[in-house]
C-alpha cells in the first residue's frame, strides 16, 4: 500500500507567510515609522503645521498633598511658554519668554535653573508640527517593545541637540505617545499621557500624570484652543 506524503512543511511556510505575526510584520519599526504613525494618530502633520500657539485650561490634583486647583498653559512659536497652577494656598507661575525663564512657587519670582532654561530654549520650532519630526533629535533609536503605563509600547531613546536624553513610549496599537522619561541632573522625570481627545481636528492627551516619588501630580485638560496667545502673557516678571 502506498502512502501519500502530506505536504507538512509547505503548509507551515504558507501559514507563516499569511500570519499577522510573520517575521516581516513583526519587525521593529524605524524611528520614522513610529513618528509617522504618531503624526497620523494625532491628526496629521498638515493640520499641526498651521498651529502658531495654543492655550490649555483645566485642573491640577497634587495627590500626595490632597490639593486641587486651576491649571492653565500657554505656548507660542518658536519656544515661548507660560504655565500657572493655582492651588489656593500656593500659586505656581513659570515660563520662558524666548530668552530667559522664571519660576515662582509662592516665595517670590526667581530665574529658572540653568538646566531647565536650556531645555526650554532648545524647544524652538519652525512650525506647530515640529514635535512630530524625529530629525529634530541629534540621535534617536527604537529600542524594541516595552510596557509603559500598562500599554504595549515601542521604546524610542532620543538625545536632543542640546544633550537632553529622553525615552519616549508609543502605543503599539494606536501609535499615540503614552509617556516619556527624561534624565536630568536631579534624576528622572516620568510623565504619562492618557485620554486623548480631539480639539479642532487635532488630538491631545487630556490627562497628564507627572510621576514623582512622593506621589503623582495629575493635570486634567478640559479646554484647548489654538492660536497665538496675547504676547503680554509671556512677559517675564523679572522685567518689572
CATH of the domain at 231: 2.50.20.10
- Give a yes or no: residue 126 inside a domain: yes
The model's confidence at residue 106, banded by pLDDT at 50, 70 and 90, is confident
Say if 18 falls within a structural domain. Answer: no
Distance in angstroms (rounded) separating the CA atoms of residues 208 and 196: 10
Q: How far apart are CA 112 and CA 233, in angstroms?
A: 17
- Whether residue 23 lies inside any domain: the answer is no
Report field, pTM of the whole predicted structure over 0.75: yes
Binning pLDDT at 50, 70 and 90, where does residue 20 land?
very low
How many angstroms separate the CA atoms of 170 and 155, rounded? 7
User: Residue 238, SS3?
Assistant: helix
CA 102 distance to own-chain centroid: 22
With cell 530667559, the residue in question is 100
User: Contact, 120 vs 81, CB < 8 A?
Assistant: yes
What is the C-alpha to C-alpha distance for residues 88 and 100, in angstroms, rounded to an integer? 27
Q: What is the mean pLDDT of the chain?
A: 89
pLDDT in tens, 48-93: 999 999 999 999 999 999 999 999 999 999 999 999 999 999 999 9
Q: What is the pLDDT of residue 237?
A: 87
**Pairing between β-strand 67-76 and β-strand 80-86 as defined by DSSP bridges:** antiparallel
Task: Tell me: pLDDT of 8 over 90.
Answer: no
Query: The domain containing residue 100 runs over which residues?
Result: 28-239
Confidence category of residue 200, pLDDT binned at 50, 70, 90: very high
> Structurally, how many domains does the chain consist of?
1
Indicate whether 116 belongs to any domain: yes
Write down the pLDDT at residue 15.
40
Look-up of cell digits 483645566: 58
What's residue 26's pLDDT?
59
d(C-alpha 119, C-alpha 77), whole Å: 15
Q: What band does 25 get if pLDDT is binned at 50, 70 and 90?
A: very low
**pLDDT given at position 10:** 42
194 within some domain: yes
Size (the chain), residues? 240
Distance, CA of 108 to CA of 121 (rounded, Å): 23
Please report whether residue 139 resides in a domain. yes
Q: Is residue 186 part of a domain?
A: yes
- The pLDDT, as a whole number, for residue 22 is 40
Asked if the structure places residue 86 within a domain, the reply is yes
Strands 91-96 and 202-211: unpaired
- The distance from CA 135 to its chain's CA centroid, rounded to whole angstroms, is 16
Amino acid at each position: 500500500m502506498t502512502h501519500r506524503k502530506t505536504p507538512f512543511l509547505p503548509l507551515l511556510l504558507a501559514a507563516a507567510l499569511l500570519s499577522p505575526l510573520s517575521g516581516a510584520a513583526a519587525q521593529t519599526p524605524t524611528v520614522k515609522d513610529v513618528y509617522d504613525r504618531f503624526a497620523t494618530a494625532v491628526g496629521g502633520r498638515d493640520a499641526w503645521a498651521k498651529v502658531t500657539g495654543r492655550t490649555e485650561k483645566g485642573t491640577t490634583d497634587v495627590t500626595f498633598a490632597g490639593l486641587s486647583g486651576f491649571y492653565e498653559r500657554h505656548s507660542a512659536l518658536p519656544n515661548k511658554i507660560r504655565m500657572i497652577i493655582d492651588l489656593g494656598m500656593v500659586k505656581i507661575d513659570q515660563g520662558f519668554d524666548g530668552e530667559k525663564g522664571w519660576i515662582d512657587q509662592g516665595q517670590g519670582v526667581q530665574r529658572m535653573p540653568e538646566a531647565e532654561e536650556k531645555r526650554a530654549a532648545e524647544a524652538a520650532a519652525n512650525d506647530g508640527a515640529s514635535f512630530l519630526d524625529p530629525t529634530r533629535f541629534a540621535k534617536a533609536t527604537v529600542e524594541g517593545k516595552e510596557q509603559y503605563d500598562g500599554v504595549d509600547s515601542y521604546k524610542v531613546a532620543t538625545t536632543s541637540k542640546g544633550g537632553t536624553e529622553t525615552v519616549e513610549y508609543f502605543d503599539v496599537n494606536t501609535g499615540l505617545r503614552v509617556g516619556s522619561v527624561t534624565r536630568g541632573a536631579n534624576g528622572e522625570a516620568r510623565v504619562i499621557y492618557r485620554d486623548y481627545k480631539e480639539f479642532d481636528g487635532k488630538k491631545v492627551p487630556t490627562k497628564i500624570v507627572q510621576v514623582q516619588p512622593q506621589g503623582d501630580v495629575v493635570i486634567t485638560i478640559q479646554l484647548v484652543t489654538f492660536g497665538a496667545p496675547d504676547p503680554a502673557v509671556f512677559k517675564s516678571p523679572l522685567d518689572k
